[in-house]
C-alpha cells in the first residue's frame, strides 16, 4: 500500500440508538479488507450500548450483536481525499465524504494486550487514559481498553487497490522506528476539518507477547481511538497497530504518549476464537488466515546506537542516568536525593541488572545545574559510551532516552522532537530546550542527536504551571554537555572530584537563565 492510500483506509465510526435523544458516540476506524468492507475499531464506545455491562468481563472473550441494544445504529464515514477541503456550517455534513451503514459482527477482547497492559500500567500509579471525564455515562474503565469491534459495511470500500490492507508483525519493531498515525480528531465533529488526519512520531516503547502493547510519541487527540498506526516507506506502507488511547496520564501528569495495540495481536484473537472465525467467513470471502495479507518484509531499523541509560533508584525516588564512561554515570542532583549510594539498573535482554553506585559529587541546591556523578562498583557489559556533540543548532532533530512514565517495567523509552531553544551566556551554551515528550522519571536521561546518536545533554526537568497544576511534557530544560564535558576530562586525568565544584560557583547570568527552578516562579 502506498502512503497516499493511508488516509483512504481510515474512517469515522458513529453510534447511536434509533429514536433516542442521547448524544451519539464516535471514534476512528481502519479498513482491513476493502473488498468486503471489513473494519476494525476500538470497542470502548460500544460499551454504552451493551444490554448487560457485566458481560464485558474476563469470563467473556467476545460478544455478538445480540448482547447490544436492538436500536443500535452504526454509520461509517469515509473521506474523499480527491476533493479540496471545503468549510461547512456546524452540524452539516461534507458533501464529498461518503457515509454508509454498517453492522456489528462482534466485539472481542485482545488477550495479549490485556495481559501486557495490566503488567505495565499498575493501579498504584493512578494511570488514566481519557480526558473527557464529564461524560460519566460512557464506561471509561481501563478494563475495556483491550476490547475491539469488527464491523462490516454493506458495500466495499472504493479507492483502495489491495484486496486487504497489508500489515506487518510487530515482533520486528524496535524503539525509535518511525511511525505514522492516522485518525480523526474529535471523531464525527467537524469532519471537513479533521477526518483522516496524519501524525508522525517514533516507537517510544514496546512490551508484551510479540510487542502487543506499543507506545508512540505520534501526537493524537480524542476521537483518533480506533485509527491506524503504520510503518514503511512512501511506496510500501504497512499497518502495525490500532490506536487504543491518544492520551495517557500518570496521576495528574500528562505523559504525552499514544497507546497502541498490535494489529498482529488483534488478528490472532480473531483467528483463535473458532466461533468468531465461523462468523467471519461471511465477512472475508476466504478463511481469515489467508485473507489477511501479512508482509514478509524483514524490517531493518536505522536507529543509531544511543548512549546507555540506566534506571537510578534512590529510596522511593527514581530517575535516569547516562553512562559517560565504563564506570561513571551522570544524572541529576534531585534523582540521587541526597544519598551516598544508589542502585543502578541496566536493562539488557528484557531483564534488569542491578549495581550499587557511589555518589561521588552532587551540586549544591543553590547551583542552577542540577547534576550528580555516580561511580559504579561493578562494570556492565555492552555499555555504549556517548560521543559528545559539538553542534547544537535550533531545529535539529533530537531524541530523549529515559525512564519517564514507564519506570522499571520495560526499559527506557524514546521520544522524538527538535531542539527548540539554545541559550548562551557569554558565548557559553548553558541551556537547551526540546519538544521531546519528557515525563517524571526521565530526569537524568540522555538527549541525543537523532541521526548520529551524539549526546547533546542531560534532562533536567519539563515544565509545570504550579497555578494551573498542568504539566507540559513537550517543553523541557536540558543541561548541555558543554557544561560538564571539560570537567569529566579533567577528572579522568587528575582523579580529583573537586574539579566539579566549579558547577557550584556559576555566575548570576547563568542562574538567571535557570531561574524557573526557584520557588518564587509559578512555573
Return the C-alpha cell found at 374: 555516580
Whole-angstrom Cα distance, residue 31 to residue 11? 7
Enumerate residues 6+ apart whose C-beta is below 8 A from 216: 179, 181, 201, 202, 203, 204, 229, 257, 258, 260
| Packing angle, helices 263-272 and 111-120, rounded to 10 | 130
Whole-angstrom Cα distance, residue 160 to residue 213? 28
Return the C-alpha cell found at 143: 478494563
Whole-angstrom Cα distance, residue 374 to residue 324? 10
Altogether, the residues listed in the chain come to a count of 523
The CA distances from residue 144 to 60, 109, 126, 169, 376, in Å, are 12, 8, 16, 24, 44
Q: Which of 67, 370, 440, 460 is catalytic?
A: 370
Residue with cell 510487542: 211
Residue with cell 471489513: 38
Residue 209 and residue 189 in contact, taking contact as beta carbons nearer than 8 Å: no
Whole-angstrom Cα distance, residue 120 to residue 345? 17
Whole-angstrom Cα distance, residue 342 to residue 355? 9
The CA distances from residue 308 to 15, 385, 388, 495, in Å, are 48, 7, 13, 23
Closest CA to 357 of 314, 398, 303, 317: 314
Whole-angstrom Cα distance, residue 465 to residue 254? 12
Q: Is 334 assigned a catalytic role?
A: yes
Return the ∠ at Cα 291 (arms to 285 and 294), rounded to 5°.
170
Q: Which of 130, 334, 347, 474 is catalytic?
A: 334
Backbone angles phi, psi at 237, to 5 degrees: -105, 140
Q: Which of 443, 460, 461, 474 is catalytic?
A: 443
Q: How many CA atoms lie within 13 A of 333 on its CB side?
A: 16
Find the largest Cα–Cα distance for the chain: 82
Active site residues: 334, 370, 443
Amino acid at each position: 500500500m502506498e502512503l497516499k492510500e493511508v488516509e483512504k483506509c481510515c474512517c469515522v465510526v458513529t453510534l447511536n440508538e434509533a429514536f433516542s435523544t442521547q448524544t451519539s458516540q464516535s471514534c476512528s476506524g481502519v479498513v482491513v479488507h476493502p473488498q468486503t468492507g471489513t473494519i476494525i475499531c476500538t470497542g470502548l464506545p460500544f460499551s454504552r450500548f451493551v444490554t448487560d455491562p457485566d458481560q464485558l468481563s474476563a469470563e467473556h472473550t467476545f460478544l455478538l450483536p445480540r448482547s447490544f441494544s436492538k436500536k443500535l445504529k452504526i454509520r461509517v464515514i469515509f473521506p474523499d481525499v480527491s476533493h479540496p477541503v471545503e468549510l461547512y456550517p456546524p452540524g452539516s455534513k461534507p458533501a464529498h465524504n461518503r457515509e454508509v451503514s454498517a453492522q456489528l459482527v462482534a466485539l472481542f477482547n485482545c488477550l495479549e494486550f490485556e495481559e501486557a497492559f495490566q503488567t505495565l500500567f499498575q493501579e498504584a500509579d493512578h494511570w488514566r487514559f481519557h480526558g473527557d471525564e464529564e461524560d460519566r455515562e460512557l464506561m471509561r474503565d481501563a478494563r475495556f481498553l483491550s476490547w475491539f469491534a469488527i464491523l462490516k459495511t454493506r458495500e466495499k470500500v472504493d479507492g483502495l487497490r489491495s484486496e486487504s490492507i497489508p500489515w506487518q508483525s510487530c515482533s520486528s519493531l524496535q524503539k525509535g522506528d518511525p511511525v505514522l498515525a492516522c485518525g480523526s480528531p474529535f471523531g464525527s465533529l467537524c469532519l471537513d476539518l479533521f477526518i483522516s488526519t496524519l501524525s508522525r512520531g517514533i516507537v517510544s516503547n514496546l512490551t508484551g507477547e510479540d510487542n502487543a502493547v506499543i507506545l508512540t510519541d505520534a501526537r493524537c487527540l480524542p476521537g483518533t481511538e480506533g485509527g491506524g498506526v503504520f510503518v514503511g516507506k512512501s511506496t510500501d506502507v504497512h499497518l502495525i497497530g490500532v490506536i487504543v488511547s491518544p492520551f495517557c496520564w500518570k496521576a495528574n501528569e500528562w505523559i504525552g504518549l499514544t497507546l497502541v495495540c498490535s494489529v498482529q495481536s488483534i488478528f490472532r484473537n480473531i483467528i483463535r476464537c473458532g466461533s468468531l472465525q465461523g462468523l467471519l467467513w461471511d465477512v472475508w470471502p476466504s478463511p481469515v488466515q489467508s485473507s489477511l495479507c501479512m508482509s514478509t518484509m524483514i524490517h531493518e531499523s536505522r536507529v543509531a546506537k544511543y548512549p546507555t541509560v540506566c534506571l537510578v533508584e534512590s529510596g522511593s525516588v527514581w530517575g535516569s542516568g547516562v553512562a559517560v564512561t565504563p564506570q561513571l554515570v551522570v544524572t541529576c542532583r534531585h534523582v540521587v536525593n541526597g544519598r551516598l549510594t544508589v542502585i543502578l539498573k541496566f536493562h539488557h535482554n528484557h531483564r534488569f541488572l542491578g549495581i550499587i553506585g557511589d555518589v561521588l559529587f552532587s551540586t549544591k541546591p543553590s547551583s542552577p545545574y542540577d547534576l550528580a556523578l555516580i561511580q559504579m562498583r561493578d562494570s556492565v557489559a555492552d555499555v555504549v559510551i556517548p560521543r559528545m556533540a559539538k553542534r547544537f543548532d535550533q531545529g535539529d532533530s533530537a531524541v530523549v532516552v529515559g525512564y519517564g512514565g514507564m519506570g522499571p517495567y520495560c526499559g527506557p523509552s524514546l521520544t522524538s522532537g527538535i531542539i527548540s531553544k539554545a541559550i548562551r551566556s557569554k558565548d557559553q551554551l548553558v541551556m537547551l530546550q526540546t519538544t521531546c515528550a519528557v515525563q517524571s522519571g526521565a530526569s537524568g536521561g540522555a538527549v541525543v542527536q537523532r541521526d548520529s546518536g551524539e549526546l547533546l545533554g542531560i534532562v533536567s526537568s519539563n515544565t509545570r504551571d504550579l497555578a494551573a497544576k498542568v504539566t507540559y511534557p513537550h517543553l523541557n530544560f536540558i543541561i548541555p554537555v558543554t557544561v560538564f564535558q571539560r570537567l569529566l576530562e579533567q577528572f579522568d586525568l587528575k582523579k580529583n572530584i573537586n574539579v566539579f565544584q566549579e558547577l557550584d560557583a556559576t555566575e548570576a547570568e547563568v542562574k538567571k537563565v535557570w531561574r524557573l527552578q526557584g520557588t518564587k516562579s509559578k512555573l
